[in-house]
Structure 1
Amino acid sequence: MATISHAYHRVFDEPFEIERAFDADYLLYASTGTFVLDIGDRRWMLPPQRAALIARGTVIAVRSNGAATASSVLFGDREFEAPLPACRVFGLSDLARQMILHVMRWDTGRPSCDETANAFFKALASVAAGLAADEDETWLPKPQSPGMAVAVARMLEDLDRDLDFGSLAEASRLSERTLSRRFDAELGMSFRDFRHRARMVRAKEMLLAGREPITEIGLACGFESTSSFIKAFRTFAGATPRQYRVGKAG
């Protein structure tokens, strides 16, 4: 049975976690709160005011660590001109936000012959696909072995300081040489590159989820000076932290 494009809004008053695969292309818009999306060998952060476009049939685990609200749009067959990648996180224009709010009136009970709704969902799909082409990189590769999972979790807990690599190896019960090889083999990047990327993703989340001063965010992400943080962030995100926060990136 063909899927009819429809939408719904949900409020989560406490942390939650679900795993499923939709039989439709899926747009998830985080109104408030941050969502974590696990798909395959990657983990995406979906901060407030960002959206994710997820291909039909993709198995996705979604969770939040606190209260959050989200708007979901499930698109019917042939709404997109080309198959979607597994997941893309991207920024929204004011027009796209208003369109998402508008389609919330059409839930699963809407008639399939409603041409106004059909045309609107088709237009939203076109707008979303265009915005998703400019991906906001908020993903990290996921560790595949228990030892690497321990090392990565320990690192993510202490992004504000430079942990000694030897202490990570000891915590993961691996030699430093083996741990270094595991970073390349499992995550596709070196220890230093992964830590830098994790800091940038954390900075993006903090910039959109709260109102902490940029200086404090830089310190929380392991940068000793605001100027070095701004320079690193601009190189990674293509915008300064302030520009990213107010929506000039993505």
Structure 2
Amino acid sequence: QQAAWIPAGLEHQATMRPEVRTVAVMFDPELVRHGGDRARILTVSPLIREMMLHSLRWPIERADGDTVSDDFFSTLGHLVSEALDHEAPLSLPTSDHPIVGAAMDYTKAHLSSVTAAQVSHAVAVSERTLRRQFEAVIGISWRTYLLHARMLQAMALLAAPDQGVQQTATAVGFDSLSAFTRAFTKFAGESPSSYHRRITTS
């Protein structure tokens, strides 16, 4: 439920997993006037998501003077501009380091209950080595990586209209709803219930 905003003229390279389906919408810079000059990660509301999918009906080289498509992309541009005001806090770092990369994969696959001991066992190193490698390779601790992974997964889950906050907290490894609410609010700048309401009613 996220999208990358890449402003016109910014040189970039994207790497996609083969099983991932992506949709790219290219805007005239005039349609998103405050897009800035850097790439950003945005939370995608159900409305923006459906409009992006619907935009596939028009080819990139669409005819000039098509008022329906002009109005459609103008509206989508306004919604994207609004979404840029709610930039997602971050995306998770990646690594080609054999130990750190494997530890990341294991952590993301077991967010609801993973421990440092389990990850260390899975990648065949000590907990001390795991902590040292994370901080040396990506500059943050494994525990911080785990928290960020849980928060980003929570944001993705809460984008579903029928997803509850308690259900989300449990899914990402929090036994206490109050602890989850504190962690999410610190990370995202708003409470999980507020985030859920804003995203699902946009």
TM-score (norm 2): 0.73
Distance 1:64 1:238, change over 3 A: farther
Alignment of 1:20-169 (within 5 A): 47=1, 50-55=2-7, 56-63=10-17, 72-76=24-28, 84-91=37-44, 106-111=58-63, 113-114=64-65, 125=77, 128-129=80-81, 131-137=83-89, 139-163=91-115, 165-169=116-120
Q: Distance in 1 between matches of 2:87 and 2:41?
A: 6
- Stretches of structure 2 that go unaligned for 5 or more consecutive residues are none
Q: What amino acid sits opposite 1:86 in the alignment?
A: A
Q: Distance in 2 between matches of 1:86 and 1:205?
A: 20
Q: What amino acid sits opposite 2:41 in the alignment?
A: R
2:24 match: secondary structure: strand
Q: Distance in 1 between matches of 2:19 and 2:161?
A: 15
- Structure with the bigger percentage of strand: 1
Pair 1:214-2:155 in alignment = no
Distance 1:104 1:170, change over 3 A: closer
Pair 1:172-2:123 in alignment = yes
RMSD of aligned alpha carbons: 3.7
- Structure with the bigger percentage of helix: 2
For the 8 Å contact 2:102–2:123, the answer to whether it is kept is yes
TM-score (norm 1): 0.61
Q: What amino acid sits opposite 1:128 in the alignment?
A: V
- Stretches of structure 1 that go unaligned for 5 or more consecutive residues are 1-46
Moved over 4 A (4+): 63-66, 76-83, 91-94, 96-106, 115-127
2:15 match: secondary structure: strand
Distance 1:65 1:240, change over 3 A: farther
1:72 match: secondary structure: coil
Pair 1:187-2:119 in alignment = no
**% same residue:** 28
User: Offset at 1:137?
Assistant: 2.8
Q: Distance in 2 between matches of 1:83 and 1:214?
A: 33
